[in-house]
Amino acid sequence: MVKPMIARNSPLERVNRRRGLSRPGSRPEAPVKAGRALARLTAEEERLVKQILEQPMDFIDSEEFYRDGAERRIYDEAPPIQKPDVSWYRPLMDSFISGREREPRSRNTGTVLLTGAEERVLFLQYNYARHRVREIQKRLDGRMPDGEVSRDLLSWYRIARAYREQIAETNLALVLAMAKRTRMSEVDFADMVSEGNMALLRSVDKFDCGRGFKFSTYACRAILKAFSRQGMKLSKYRQRFPTDFDPAMEKSNHLETLRATHERECADEVKHIVLNNDADLSDVEKTVIHYRFGLDSEQNSPLTLEQVGQIIGVTKERVRQIQNKALEKIRLSFEEVYPVEAEVPADAAAEGVFEN
């Protein structure tokens, strides 16, 4: 019987549980009747069968697969391989990304160091499961399988996926080690690790254990190449788009535009009221408003209270009183025309008249 290869409570196992997929384990017994077995397939399993049949399964071939009793030797007679503990991975990644710690908090990261013989056992088991999936695909030749074949296909597919996940989780530390070794300031560390993890999975699929090399030798070069490609892509992107992302540009200025438009319209209306004397201002009040807010065409800037007082021959306090009385008349006239906009203070509206 083939034992499950996914470590308990690993991230990949939690993803499988959320998807409603059964945990990859021992191969199921052949059903008595194919029709009854097909009826027991869930909708998720039926979709998975169709997905498996859409594309031929790739695998690394070996002479071991074609010898008598290959399945028994590869699985039942193979020594047990220790499964990795990946509980260290997420806290360590959080510390790297946040910058709280530049070094791991503990040297014991739960990594399982495999010998060359143990790696060969794992990769033979992984590729043999993919080989069996490919054999079933060839046999079906595009036809939909019956219940027994569907169960057999799903079983070998899940076994292959479980071994793939075990190999990848065992070598997660390789990605972190290579990312620390080739740290690039212009590339985010989390993006580097993500790209390295994808390269690690591709290495698992392409590694040939029959050549006698360690998997780390092959995977490290693939991870470093992935980092190099990512750096080149980022350089080309910066050449095309030299401007950095500005969060301020993502914020809408709609409210500011509405507010400015509202103030400008109110100022235009106040100016119309003053110029047409719709507020029944006296000659002195019109003179004070014109000089104080620069409405005189020959005047470059508004005058102070004292300067206006010297022109009309009164004190600056008296000018202030005349100005306030005139602004109150303008406010009342403005409220009759635009009762909603009347909340704008008279001083603010008058300043808007000068600015426009």
Give the CATH number for residue 236. Answer: 1.20.120.1810
Q: What is the pLDDT of residues 207-251, one digit of tens each?
A: 999 998 999 999 999 999 999 888 888 888 777 777 666 676 667
1/8 Cα distance (integer angstroms) = 19
Give the CATH number for residue 301. Answer: 1.10.10.10
Q: What is the pLDDT of residues 345-356, one digit of tens each?
A: 445 555 555 444
Same domain, residue pair 299 and 219: no
Same domain, residue pair 176 and 224: yes
- The CA-atom distances, in angstroms, between 19 and each of 43, 188, 327 are 12, 30, 71
The token pair at 287 is 């003179």
Q: How confident is the model at residue 168 (pLDDT cuts 50, 70, 90)?
A: very high
The answer to whether residues 204 and 155 touch, using CB atoms and an 8 Å cutoff, is no
Average pLDDT, the chain: 79
Cβ-Cβ contacts under 8 Å for 227 (sequence gap 6 or more):
178, 179, 182, 184, 187, 192, 195, 196
Total number of domains in the chain: 3
Which of 251, 284, 319 represents a domain boundary (last residue)?
251
Q: How confident is the model at residue 188 (pLDDT cuts 50, 70, 90)?
A: confident
Where in the sequence is the domain holding 264, given as residue range(s)? Answer: 254-355
Q: What is the pLDDT of residue 125?
A: 94
330/326 Cα distance (integer angstroms) = 6
Verdict on whether the full-model pTM lies above 0.85: no
Secondary structure of residue 21 in the 3-state scheme: coil
Same domain, residue pair 235 and 286: no
**What does the pLDDT average to over 281-303?**
80
Question: By C-alpha distance, which of 306, 150, 118 is closest to 216?
Answer: 118
Q: What is the pLDDT of residue 66?
A: 93
Q: How confident is the model at residue 344 (pLDDT cuts 50, 70, 90)?
A: very low
* Max mean pLDDT range (36-50, 95-109, 182-196, 214-228): 214-228
Same domain, residue pair 272 and 342: yes
Same domain, residue pair 203 and 56: no
Same domain, residue pair 307 and 317: yes
**What does the pLDDT average to over 157-183?**
90
